[in-house]
Amino acid sequence: MSEAQKISVIPQSLPVTPMDMLNRAVSSGADLDMIEKLMNLQERWEAGNARKAFDKAVSEAKKEIPPIARNATGHNNKKYADFAAIARVVDPIIGKHGLSYRFRTTQNGSIAVTCVLSHEAGHSEETTLSGPADSSGSKNAIQAIGSTLTYLQRYSLVQMLGLAAAADDDGKSAVAGEAISPEQVEQLVELAEEVGADRAAFCRYFKVEALTDISAKDFPRAVAALNKKRAAK
């Protein structure tokens, strides 16, 4: 009887898993190549089950997460839910389903925050958002970085869990629409530097405190204004 035939002789009334096959291979004296293949199969099987458990946990948790009260006031006196308010609601619910999150940050010109959502079965997924330091108002350099970190942590968690955007409107949106994306902010920063624009004056023209507050609908107009300055040089 071949090694493959020996491994396949398992009572059909029992579910056959890669671990069952691996145990039988070891006990029957299978060669190292066969054992290695079965170990790889077991790892893929475990990873697949972990991913399914993760997806189910996120789905079940989202059913239980209620609308989050907007407890803070931001730009243009608009109400939003700060990170603490979101965490108070979200943490116990996702924890009950074996989920947890953490953040990873990097700074290389812009500030990037990665939210890593993990499940106790071993599967994890992540999403990354980035943006410039929030130098609006009278913030010093450290405060500007801290403000952006808090902002990106909140939004990356909301995006990772797929929460409704309305539950996390921090007032950065203009009255007429959503604020521009971090990528669009970077584009405006680079363009402003290239044409030598006065960023403070530019923000006053658009009636915002910082480039991050410019609305998505005004983004084409902002780019056009900077390009016009380039043409005038």
Q: Which has the closest alpha carbon to 9: 22, 24, 27? A: 24
Cα 152 to Cα 185: distance, rounded to the nearest angstrom: 13
Q: Are 141 and 133 a contacting pair, CB within 8 Å?
A: yes
Write down the pLDDT at residue 96.
96
Cα 5 to Cα 3: distance, rounded to the nearest angstrom: 5
Write down the pLDDT at residue 97.
96
Write down the pLDDT at residue 196.
85
Tokens matching residue 205: 């023209």
Write down the pLDDT at residue 206.
82
For the chain, residues with pLDDT lower than 50 are 1, 3, 6-7, 9-10, 12, 165-177
- Say whether 175 sits in a helix, a strand or coil: coil
Place of tokens 């407890």: 71
Write down the pLDDT at residue 179.
67
Q: Is 212 exposed, middle or buried (CB count within 10 Å of its CB: 0-12, 13-18, 19+)?
A: buried
Alpha carbon of 113 to those of 48, 71, 153, 157, 183: distances in Å?
Answer: 27, 23, 6, 10, 14
Tokens matching residue 211: 């480039």
For the beta carbon of residue 12, count every other beta carbon within 10 angstroms: 6
Cα 94 to Cα 28: distance, rounded to the nearest angstrom: 44
Measured in whole angstroms, the distance separating CA 41 from the mean position of its chain's CA atoms is 30
Tokens matching residue 23: 């145990």
- The pTM for the full model equals 0.57
- Residue ranges covered by each domain of the chain: 3-64, 70-172, 174-233
Cα 21 to Cα 35: distance, rounded to the nearest angstrom: 9
Write down the pLDDT at residue 200.
81
**151: Cβ contacts below 8 Å, ≥ 6 apart:** 131, 134, 170, 172
For the beta carbon of residue 135, count every other beta carbon within 10 angstroms: 20
Determine phi and psi for 120, rounding to 5 degrees. Answer: -60, -20
End-to-end CA distance of the chain: 85
